[in-house]
Structure formats: C-alpha cells, structure tokens
Amino acid sequence: MKKNRLKSTELFFKRLLRRTLNRLLPVTPKPAPDASEIKTVLLYRLDQRLGNGILLLPLLRAIRETLPDAQIHYLIHEPVAKLFQETTGDLIDQIWPYNQPALMKRPWRYLKLIRQLRAASIDVAITSHNPDNFSLSQAIFGRLLYPRYLVGFDARDSAKYYNVAIKSSIDKHYSDAMIDLWRAIDDTAACRFGGFTVADDIRQQLKHKFPAYEDGGILIWLGATGRKVLNRQQIDFLHELVEKKSKRPIYFACGPADRPLLKQHRDDIKNNTLIWEGSLLETAAFFSRFSLFISGDTGPMHLAAALDVPTLTIFSDSNMTQYGYQDGERHISLHWENGENFSGAVDTALDRLLK
C-alpha cells in the first residue's frame, strides 16, 4: 500500500512538472527547414552509454554529406567524445564532452555550458533518444539552448517540446532510425556504417604494449550485461567452429566489470582471457588489429563495427533488427538457437567473414 502511494505521488509530481514546463517552455511546430538555411547543427545525447554514442556516427556522416560547409557540433558522454575527437578527422567541427555527474555537482558549470552552446547560434539542434521513447531532460536541455529548430522523435508527449517531431520505429536498425531525424531535412540521407579510423602511431603503441596478440587474429569478447551474456555452451560452440574454420589465432577478452562471468568458463579460456582496462581510444586501436570480432550484443561490438572490423554477433535476448549489423559480407548477426540449422548458419557466416 505504501509503495502504491509513493508511486501515485511520483506520477502526480511528474504530471505537474510537465504541465509547468509546457507553460514555461512553449514550442511552435514548424515545417522542417531547407538545408540551404542551416549553418550550424548540434547533435546531442545526455546519457552515459557507450553504444548509444557510437551508434550516432552514421547520422553525423549523413549530416556532413548534406552540409559539407556547415558547422557540426556533437555533445556526448565524455569518454565517447574523446574517442570521436581522435577517430573521425574533420567530420565534426566542435565536440562537447559531457560529464553529467561533474556538472550536477557544480550547477554553475552546467549554466556555463548552456551559455556556450547558445553562443554557437544553433540553427538545428537534434536530440537523440530511442524512437519509441521520450527523454524529458533532453527536451528541456534542447529548449534552453534556443535553437531555431529543435528536432526529436514523436513519441509519447514529445511533440509538445519539439519544433519538428519525427516518427520512426524500432523495427529498423537503431542508426537508421536516428537518420530519420535528418531525413526530414534531406530525404536522400543514407545509413552508412563505419567511419572510425585509428592513427598508425596509436596502433603501433598498442602493438608494442600487447605483443602476444598477432595482427589478423580473431577476438571473442566474453563480456555483456544482463541476459545478453553468452554462456559457456554458446562460447564453447563458437570457439569450436572457429577453430575448425580458421588457423588464425583466437583470443578472448572482456572488461573489468565482466570478470565474474569468467567463472562459468573452462580453465583454458578463463586463464587466457585478457581483462581489458584501456581507454576507448586504446580499445579502438586494439580492436582494429583483428580480422574478426565475435560477441553477443554489447557496446564493444558497436565499436568494432564502427572501425569496420568484421563482426559476428550472436543475439540471445535483445532486438537483433534494431542493434544487429547485417550486410552479409563483413557484418553478420544471428539469433541463438539450438540445433543443426543454427550450426549451419554460423558455419556459412564464418565462411563469408573469414574469406
């Protein structure tokens, strides 16, 4: 009973807050602007998830293809921002590292960030959140920047906050849905994956740091979260098939938070798994050395795909249509199943990816 009262109170104050903000932050729906009117674009996302930031790379490339001379700004979680600074060349003119915990501790810095962004005279600000959801904090942040146009997905009551509200779907790849936010301005915009490039000197540094890992090897990433984790049976199955298909060396790795997952694996895998603790840029340099990246649905998989490292992704409990890469040549995603049909599908995928 107490929980129900608390929930009702929470919902009441949320509704009150939204009604108040509707009055304080009025928005005028507008037709999408003509591309010739746009001089400055800001794309932003306020959460701290690695994969979501990387999945915006195709949208940034689409904007640049439409507006080769415009100023493109990107505000994203700080570690991801540093990765983009080092791997995307002149794709983005201004990258804004966003450190939410630090800004919340010092609100005056938050206000300073907003003033700096206002000074950029933003024509179009694009807020990226899931196409079937609505982030009130992102909408408020966008309104406070005073862009000429604020663009976001038409989900729930989001249209009240955006000048241009776009309908999209989770029945397409996440990156392709993000480009729907730009197709209102350029309906020819295409979704092209890849685009990260690691400088040779950084690659060489990682090569010297990890000499035991040969260029052209195969990396099996053991880490993931929740139900996305590949279990011992799945990893053993994949390892056995890869060994039969290729003489290339096979390596295992996972992040520090994934260390408990190693308990389920055989000793030969557990004792030879690299606990990877490098920065995102070092991670990109490390991944770029491999000829194939095998994993479940996890953030590092999106990094490998952005580097155009061939990927084989096994989905067990998430939306493969939305998050899987599938071109049939360099990127293949499969949903885990038991039986000969799945074994044959993996066998065919490895034939294509290892040729």
Average pLDDT over residues 21-33: 72
Fold classification of 26-183 (topology level): Rossmann fold (3.40.50)
How deeply is 221 buried, as exposed, middle or buried, from its count of CB atoms within 10 A (0-12, 13-18, 19+)?
A: buried
What pLDDT sits at residue 4?
58
Q: What are phi and psi of 252, to 5 degrees?
A: -125, 145
> Residue 333 forms beta bridges with which residues?
313
Tell me the two tokens of residue 225: 């979260």
pLDDT in the model for residue 19 = 60
Among 234, 239, 220, which Cα is nearest to 315's?
234
Q: What does the pLDDT average to over 134-141?
A: 88
CATH code 3.40.50.2000 region(s) in the chain: 26-183, 200-353
- Range with the lowest mean pLDDT among 13-22, 43-52, 150-159, 324-333? 13-22
pLDDT band at 307 (very low <50, low <70, confident <90, very high): very high
Q: What is the mean pLDDT of residues 284-298?
A: 96
Q: Find the distance separating the first CA and the last CA of the chain, reported in whole Å.
A: 62
Report the percentage of the chain scoring pLDDT > 90.
Answer: 74
63-84 per-position pLDDT tens digit: 999 999 999 999 999 889 999 9
Confidence of residue 331 (pLDDT cuts 50, 70, 90): very high
Query: What are 103's two structure tokens?
Result: 């800004």
- Which helix (H) or strand (E) element contains residue 231? none
**Does the structure show a pLDDT above 70 at 203?**
yes
pLDDT at 18: 60
303-307: long-range contacts (C-beta < 8 A, 24 or more apart)?
Answer: 303/50, 303/54, 303/196, 305/193, 305/194, 305/331, 306/54, 306/57, 306/193, 306/194, 306/195, 306/196, 307/194, 307/196, 307/197, 307/198
pLDDT, residue 225, reads 85
In which band, very low, low, confident or very high, does the pLDDT at 2 lie, cut at 50, 70 and 90? low
Smallest CA-to-CA distance from 190 within 206, 201, 205, 179 is with: 179
How far is residue 297's CA from residue 79's CA, in Å, rounded to a whole number?
A: 20
- For the chain, the average pLDDT equals 90
Determine the 3-state secondary structure of 49 from DSSP.
coil
Q: What angle do CA 254, 303, 96 make, to 5 degrees?
A: 115
Q: Render pLDDT for 140-197 as a digit per residue (tens, 0 to 9).
A: 899 999 999 999 999 877 888 899 999 999 999 999 999 999 999 999 999 999 999 9
Residue 341's pLDDT band (cuts 50, 70, 90)? confident
Distance CA 164, CA 58 (A): 20
Q: How confident is the model at residue 215 (pLDDT cuts 50, 70, 90)?
A: very high
Q: Higher-confidence residue: 48 or 274?
A: 274
Question: What would be the CATH architecture of the domain defined by 200-353?
Answer: 3-Layer(aba) Sandwich (3.40)
Residue 131, pLDDT above cutoff 70: yes
